[in-house]
Amino acid sequence: MKKLLILNGPNLNLLGQREPEIYGKESFEEYLENLRNRYFGIGLDYFQSNVEGELVNTLQEAEVDEAIEGVVLNAGAYSHTSIAIADAILAMHKPVVLVHISNIYAREIERRTDLLLGAADGCITGLGLYGYDLALRYLMSKMQ
């Protein structure tokens, strides 16, 4: 079975609890269950880490995993700081779509820079959890 990887960075394990006025009240696990029900023909792998190096390792592992066709990445705060994650994306030959749940361009100035943008195929920002759905649709269109 062909697979897509959803990779979440720091503090995204707190969705549904952390700042629900910005990130919503639904946990990512609840949302992931809905995604898996909607995209039952595709394997959706999921990994979340608060550790930058683990995100880099997971991207490198996804690159060599022949079953994984692409990655949806929400690197959380590392989006604004991590050259290492950007370099890991640049080393990949598979498509990577970035997702930001909130509109980073309407937030604090330190959140308005995304160091990963130049390395990724695209970015969806400010559409809540629905951004993951759109990213998956894009990646699925690349699989055909």
Any idea which residues carry the catalytic annotation? 23, 100
Distances 81 to 40, 58, 100 between C-alpha atoms, Å? 35, 18, 15
Name the DSSP letter for residue 110: G
**E strand intervals along the chain:** 3-8, 43-48, 68-74, 96-100, 122-125
Structure tokens at 40: 């039952």
